[in-house]
Amino acid sequence: MNANKPEKQRRLLLGVPFAAMAGWLFLPARRAHAQEKATLLAKPVAQIPIDPEDAAWQSADILEVPLAAQAVVKPRTYEVAVKAIVVRALYDDNRLALRLEWRDAASEAMTGGVSAFRDAIAVEFPSDPKAGIPFFGMGEPNRPVTIYQWKADWQSALNNDVDEKYPNMAVDWYPFSGRGPGEIAEATDYGKKDGDKAFLTSWAAGNTLADPVLQAQRAVEKFLARGFGTIAPVAQDKQDGEAKAAWKDGVWKAVVTIPRSQEQFTFARGQTVPVAFAAWDGAKGERGGEKAVSTWYFLSLEQPVGVVTYVAPLVMVAGAAAVELAGLHGLRARRTPSGSRRSSSTAVREWITDLRAKLTPRGKSGA
């Protein structure tokens, strides 16, 4: 009984590396699970999907972002309808796509005229991450933020003009629209050859909220902000966001895509960038500063990995297993058939010879 004790101790010591390796492999995953998630990992794809129901989104990383009322500055609010959004991200060589999902009891696209407000969702990030992290509430004078806002009414802009908002309206004549008497003029008519944009004053002044051409092209608007009350749209030729959204069964699902190459930086592989979000429920009268907002979270673009990344841990485990098995074989070989023990030096030499024979490729002789 006592003769076997040293051998059991050796086997125990040989098993320690296995236990240590297993702990090293699985401990990071357990730690990540235990901590609150604050980073969204965007995975690379050949081409980003624009449809929120595309199957590619099923493999994307998920980040749930809680929202709270914007109560810092006027017009403030203390209760908001949208409590959280679920964000996923994918990217390709040129663009980054964010899939945003949130609960909303009703779809609101400002179809009720001047008394109605739109549903909207926005994503924000520092215009230059190298300058530091600005205040998440619209940035700071020396550290501006870039904002992309999806608007429900812009998505349906072509079918959401004045005659759609007021289907029972009557008309005699819209001068300077290019339309004849009795014809209802569309907003885009004032920008055509026979129209005069000056009579759609806000459009002529450069207000993107009244630009029917821009709204017909895209459902998302790009802004720059340097603090509360400073938000302004970028020039029309720099409006580069795209979006597609659908509402069903009390849930909005929107995909917002933006260029990876921005004015002052690029969403590079392996880079982590702060991101924040905001949401508006038009049916609840939310607009402007009356909104639900998040603090900063983080977006990181996953580095594509090669086969070596996956194979290396397996090779390490296989190598460790080979050494452990060879060690156990050496321990067994130290006993003679009669049960008497050989010298330690003889057992070690035989164990080394046996191990080298196992590791030497076929066709080659050992040294």
Task: Say what percent of the chain tops pLDDT 90.
Answer: 49
More confident residue, 335 or 143: 143
What is the pLDDT at residue 206? Answer: 84
Residues 236 and 108 in one domain: yes
What is the pLDDT at residue 35? Answer: 46
Residues 161 and 198 in one domain: yes
Q: Is residue 6 part of a domain?
A: yes
| Mean pLDDT of the region 152-160 | 74
CB 239 within 8 A of CB 218: yes
Q: Is residue 335 part of a domain?
A: yes
Q: Is residue 244 part of a domain?
A: yes
Residues 7 and 43 in one domain: no
CB 225 within 8 A of CB 147: yes
Residues 166 and 49 in one domain: yes
Per the listing, tokens 């902000």 go with 225
Residues 145 and 220 in one domain: yes
Non-local CB neighbours of 216 within 8 Å, separated by 6+ positions: 157, 158, 188
| Torsional sign, CA 190, 193, 198, 201 | positive
- Amino acid code (one letter) for 127: S
CA of residue 259 relative to chain centroid, distance: 14
Domain count, the chain: 2
Q: Are strands 232-233 and 220-225 parallel, antiparallel or unpaired?
A: antiparallel
What is the pLDDT at residue 27? Answer: 46
Residues 282 and 313 in one domain: no
pLDDT digits (tens, 9 = 90+) for 8-64: 555 554 454 445 444 544 444 444 443 478 999 999 999 999 999 999 999 999 999
Q: Which domain holds residue 292?
A: 37-301
pLDDT digits (tens, 9 = 90+) for 53-103: 999 999 999 999 999 999 999 988 999 999 999 999 999 999 999 999 999
What is the pLDDT at residue 39? Answer: 96
What is the pLDDT at residue 257? Answer: 98
Q: Name the pLDDT band for 224 (thresholds 50, 70, 90).
A: very high
Task: Say yes or no to pLDDT of 287 above 50.
Answer: yes
Q: Is residue 365 part of a domain?
A: no
Q: Is residue 364 part of a domain?
A: no
Q: Is the pTM of this model over 0.75?
A: no
Q: Is residue 32 part of a domain?
A: no
Residues 204 and 335 in one domain: no
CB atoms within 10 A of CB 71: 14
CATH for 114: 2.60.40.1190
Buried b (16+ CB within 10 A) or exposed e, 81-109: bbebbebbbbbeeebbbbbbbbebeebbb
Residues 353 and 311 in one domain: yes
What is the pLDDT at residue 168? Answer: 80
CA distances for 18 relative to 13, 15, 225, 317, 334, angstroms? 10, 5, 55, 8, 23
Q: Name the pLDDT band for 327 (thresholds 50, 70, 90).
A: low
Residues 210 and 341 in one domain: no
First-last CA distance in the chain: 40
CA of residue 130 relative to chain centroid, distance: 20
Q: Name the pLDDT band for 212 (thresholds 50, 70, 90).
A: confident
Closest CA to 177 of 200, 206, 208: 200
The overall average pLDDT reported for the chain is: 82
CB 77 within 8 A of CB 288: no
Residues 297 and 315 in one domain: no
